[in-house]
Structure 1
Amino acid sequence: MSDNIHDFFDENTHWVEQGTGSLEGGGTPPKPPKSRREMRKRRKQRKQKRFGVIIAVIVTIAVIVGGGYLAVSKLHDIRDSQSQANAAVEDYPGPGYGEVTFTVSEGQGAMEIAKSLLKAEVIKSTDAFTSLVSANDSKLYPGTFTLKKHMAASDVLTILTDSSKAAGFLEVRPGERVSAVITDAATLSGIAQSDFEAIINNKGDGILPAEANGSFEGWLEPGTYNVKGMNSASDILKDMVDKRVAKLDDLGVPSGADRERVMIIASIAEAEVNKADYYGKVTRVIENRLAQGMSLGMDSTVAYGNNVQPADVTTAMLQDESNPYNTYKIAGLPPTPISNPGDNAIQAAMNPESGDWLYFCTVNLDTGETKFATTAEEHDKNVAELRQWQAENQQ
């Protein structure tokens, strides 16, 4: 007799293993167990197998449920991040209403400007503005601009990148003369032009360095200045001169008389050609002519002495020996710079290109193409090319 009811059934039952087929289907029946111990072993294995299947099913369900939860959570995260992104780039459709006087200060970055625009209710979000600045690599000019409330960010950017729409800020450009600078400074600042002229006529006492020899020409640093926010003509001029001196120090320009010489040569190069690629050759021509005792023969210096543009120089002006800037008649460099040269021209004056050129001529006044020559004959051919261009392109 079996030990218990399970042993009884195990002893009297023919088991068919899963996957082997039934007896009726032609499968081979399993061999009967040889002992009770083997029967108990088989029963234990079947229980373990059933338990393993149950565990596998539970694990599978858990994975499916957990994966679904993670997927749903991820979708929620994506939806939330998209909502935040959409909110960050919210923009007004424009054109806006009312009037807002908005000032961009020198040195302010796009984000700082965007925050001020948002505070003034000009734009709807900072990202709407900064993303456009970044995408277009835009230059934002300092100045005071007239804007509206609830403007489209693109419309705001159009205005802030247009220096002509800025009020109160003076832009000093490379190649400009002092006379033009002080006229603009007076207009933008509201300070009388006579105040500027009085300082200039007084030779910049207390403002100019000694090597300037009392002349502001060449000693005003190109850049943007908030003249509206300054109290006097003296403050404005001093700011420009101080920045010029600091820039010359940074560029390593020699001090004293050598500094003034560099400025004179650089100013001529700046005035004679309109491409930085030519500055080094022009300064070499100047040095070669000086070394050979030749007159410089520069129209730009004659024009400066007559307060006209080079294109307006007349034959009478070229013959006028009373003009100290007439480098056709007077050997050597002119007494002062003839404009405010930029960095490229200054560096070219310190480091002229190597060459034996003695002449140069701009043969195309539209493109600025300039040709350099070592002999008078070669130079004459270049001048003839210029005359032909003038005949074909100028009335």
Structure 2
Amino acid sequence: MAEDFDEFFSDNTQWVEDHGSAVSASAPPRPPKSRKEMRRRRAQRRRRSLISVIVTLVVLALIAGGVLFGYHRLKAWSEARDTTTIVEDYAGPGTGDVAFTVESGQGPAEIGQNLVDQDIVKSVIAFTNAVASSNATLYPGTYQLKQQMKASDVAAILSDQTKAGGFLEIKPGERVSTVLANVAKIDGANVDDFTTVLKGKGDGILPSEAAGSFEGWLEPGVYTVTNRSASDVVKDMVDARVAKLDDLGVAASDRKRVLTIASIAEAEVNKDEYYGKVTRVIENRLAKDMTLGMDSTVAYGNDVEPSMITQAMLDDASNPYNTRQNKGLPPTPISNPADKAIQAAINPEDGDWLYFVTVNLTTGETKFTTGTVDEQNAQFEQYVNEYKTGNENAN
């Protein structure tokens, strides 16, 4: 309205030029000098008004577009959130009884899928979420579960090692006889089948260089036994051992020798720091055509613990494992050695040691002789006396 009034006033007013004094700075703008200038000013005002309208419309359009875009994004996020939070799960506690086996090396997703396949849990994501939220560690073995259980209940059971059954753990340094004794303790395992396999020649299971003996060829670890044949379980153990030797770069022709030396070191060593020295002692004695003189091999040949060795056993040269009487390595490994012992057999430490004596039973301190043969013999006698004071077993 004010703009129309200004135009009317401009169109109907006669203006005269002021030839007088200067206009004050606070005075209103000077009027146009002609109608042409009035028309120009009106055109400028109209253009400014039009531009203002256009700018306003553009800003409103951008705001409307942003609101619409944000609405769709919010809706999509909300729908996705609703989708991901809907996890199918049974209410529990489940019905019936079902034996479920977790294999060594399986992860939560694979275990979850197997649980779904047996209708123990409703969905894989329900189980994996339960495992993650409780930071659970899942143990191999066979568990007694029910069908249609709540996922969190299943995760709690599978992470409780006391509830696991049907698996066999082989520990470093164990003999085959110990493995068989442990198999006999497992419910559902047929110890007779395992005895037949492990006391046999290993056809189709052992590599040829093993010469028909499983001793030393069983890789330490945890193996599922329930609902599996003895030959399959034992083959897994042997395959894992061969794969380990391959990874360490041991040639097939050297496998038996490496395992034998490693198994002796495993039986003789009480601290990791001594593995490399003991394997060097063995190599040095072999190089000098000396007997190894290891009580651990004598004990193995008589199927007793070293503490049970008698003088008659030490004197019995008919025992091929009596390395006090017979030179060279024993016919087979005497246990299933650990990785550190195998690595020490592959790369013994450098040294001239020929004897070692564990002089302190409490601390496990072991002393190694060095120098000339005569010097080492003298040191050996000294260490033996020191051992006798502490009632240790010398080599």
Q: Name the TM-score class by shorter chain.
A: 0.7 to 0.9
Query: What amino acid does structure 2 have at the position aligned with 1:267?
Result: S
Measured in 2, the distance between the counterparts of 1:153 and 1:239 equals 31
Whether contact under 8 Å (2:357, 2:380) holds in the other structure is: no
Measured in 2, the distance between the counterparts of 1:136 and 1:323 equals 55
Percent identical across equivalent pairs?
56
Which has the larger displacement, 308-317 or 208-217? 308-317
Measured in 1, the distance between the counterparts of 2:360 and 2:126 equals 45
Whether contact under 8 Å (2:215, 2:335) holds in the other structure is: yes
Measured in 2, the distance between the counterparts of 1:288 and 1:379 equals 19
Query: What amino acid does structure 2 have at the position aligned with 1:251?
Result: L
Secondary structure of the equivalent of 1:38? Answer: helix
Measured in 2, the distance between the counterparts of 1:62 and 1:152 equals 52
CA apart distance, 1:41: 1.4
Residue 46 of structure 1 aligns with which residue?
Answer: 45
Cα-to-partner distance string for 1:67-103 (whole Å, 9 max, x where unaligned): 4444444444454444444334x77787766533212
- The answer to whether residue 305 in structure 2 is matched with residue 309 in structure 1 is yes
Query: RMSD of the alignment, in Å?
Result: 4.3
Secondary structure of the equivalent of 2:245? Answer: helix
Measured in 1, the distance between the counterparts of 2:76 and 2:92 equals 32
Q: Gapped runs of 5+ residues in structure 2?
A: 16-23, 371-375
Residues 276, 194 of structure 1: alpha-carbon distance in 2 compared, 3 angstrom cutoff: same
Secondary structure of the equivalent of 2:217? Answer: coil
Secondary structure of the equivalent of 1:355? Answer: coil
Cα-to-partner distance string for 1:376-395 (whole Å, 9 max, x where unaligned): 648956984896599xxxxx
Residue 211 of structure 1 aligns with which residue?
Answer: 209
Whether contact under 8 Å (1:267, 1:345) holds in the other structure is: yes
Measured in 1, the distance between the counterparts of 2:178 and 2:208 equals 23
Residues 163, 264 of structure 1: alpha-carbon distance in 2 compared, 3 angstrom cutoff: farther
Query: What amino acid does structure 1 have at the position aligned with 2:349?
Result: E
Residue 273 of structure 1 aligns with which residue?
Answer: 269
Measured in 2, the distance between the counterparts of 1:26 and 1:306 equals 124
Q: Gapped runs of 5+ residues in structure 1?
A: 16-24, 391-395
Residue 248 of structure 2 aligns with which residue?
Answer: 251
Secondary structure of the equivalent of 1:295? Answer: coil
Whether contact under 8 Å (1:189, 1:227) holds in the other structure is: no
- The answer to whether residue 264 in structure 2 is matched with residue 264 in structure 1 is no
Where does 1:337-376 land on structure 2 (aligned, <5 Å)? 337-360=333-356, 372-374=368-370, 375=376
Cα-to-partner distance string for 1:187-218 (whole Å, 9 max, x where unaligned): 65857544544555554456544432332212
Residues 371, 217 of structure 1: alpha-carbon distance in 2 compared, 3 angstrom cutoff: same
- The answer to whether residue 56 in structure 2 is matched with residue 60 in structure 1 is no
Where does 1:1-395 land on structure 2 (aligned, <5 Å)? 9-12=9-12, 27-88=26-87, 99-105=97-103, 108-123=106-121, 125-131=123-129, 140-149=138-147, 153=151, 155-161=153-159, 165-185=163-183, 188=186, 193-198=191-196, 203-204=201-202, 207-231=205-229, 233-234=230-231, 236-256=233-253, 258-273=254-269, 276=272, 278-313=274-309, 317-318=313-314, 320-360=316-356, 372-374=368-370, 375=376, 377=379, 384=386
Residue 19 of structure 2 aligns with which residue?
Answer: none
Number of residue pairs aligned between Structure 1 and Structure 2: 374
